[in-house]
Amino acid sequence: MLALTLACLAAGNAVSQPSRRFIESEAPPEAEFHMARLAYNTRGCAGSRGWCNSWWAIDYPLAELHFLPAVQRFTRMDVAEDSRHVRLLDDQIFDYPWLFVQQVGQGNWNPTPSEVERLREYLLRGGFMVVDDFHGSYEWAVFQSVMQSVLPGRPIVDLPEGERLLDIIFPLDRRTQIPGERHLGWQRMQGPPHWRGIYDDDGRLVVAINHNIDMGDAWEHADDPGYPAEMTATAYRFGVNYVIYAMTH
């Protein structure tokens, strides 16, 4: 029933020709919860439906158009209708406690020393970063190298049983692998799913890591009849839990 509810919600919010403008602004957040995407310099572009977005915005804007109404419905928070796109050296980054980062492992995400220092400050001051849509051992090594610079000495671990994130709103007992739309056809997943994280000294999860998982694609394709509704439902559950964890820890 939940999967059907979520799928219907997504379909009800779909539009035929969504705006693709990227919203980078010095204005403050517009709602109680305002999603932020991390914008960074990239080479090339990718996307579905004939679009070619920067790698950091690969699922934009449909992922937000589907996911954000679900957050509002299931949490009753006041949720901004679209994401804000921030760079690490923007002072505005500290206005957003929930930062969504995609495609970090292809060599596109290569923070400068100043950006590394700023991300460390953001996380240790209370920010929460969700990393999504990167796959295989090579991309993992690229991401791991960056995070060792950002948070030296802090290990990346599998989320343990009993982690509050896994039941803060929805119980997430089955760590189902969420495929990208491409993984349903021409491209196979590059390994099993890993739900991992990095904790601070107080035991707060500061980075949630979706490796060999494409949560953003499940949001983006929520209105696609060829994409499994149960995968979108799982992606919504994880996304909502991530938001509530960030807003309460």
Instruction: Indicate the residue type of 51.
Output: W
Summarize pLDDT for 153-201 with one digit per residue, the tens: 999 999 998 999 999 999 986 668 898 777 676 566 678 999 999 999 9
CA distance 116 to 54: 21
Q: Which CATH class is domain 2-14+23-248?
A: alpha beta
CA distance 38 to 143: 15
Question: Domain-by-domain residue ranges, the chain?
Answer: 2-14+23-248
Start-to-end CA span in the chain (Å): 30
CA distance 146 to 143: 5
Per-residue model confidence (pLDDT) at position 10:
44
Q: What is the mean pLDDT of residues 40-49?
A: 76
Summarize pLDDT for 69-93 with one digit per residue, the tens: 999 999 999 999 999 999 999 999 9
Per-residue model confidence (pLDDT) at position 109:
87
Tokens standing for residue 224: 């696609």
Tokens standing for residue 138: 């090579």
> If pLDDT is split at 50, 70 and 90, which confidence band does 8 have?
very low
> If pLDDT is split at 50, 70 and 90, which confidence band does 48 have?
low
pLDDT surpasses 70 at 6: no
Tell me, letter by letter, the H, E, C secondary structure of 64-114.
HHHHHHHHHHHHCCCECCCCEEECCCCHHHHHCCEEEEECCCCCCCCCCHH
Entry pTM: 0.88
pLDDT surpasses 90 at 115: yes
CA distance 85 to 64: 12
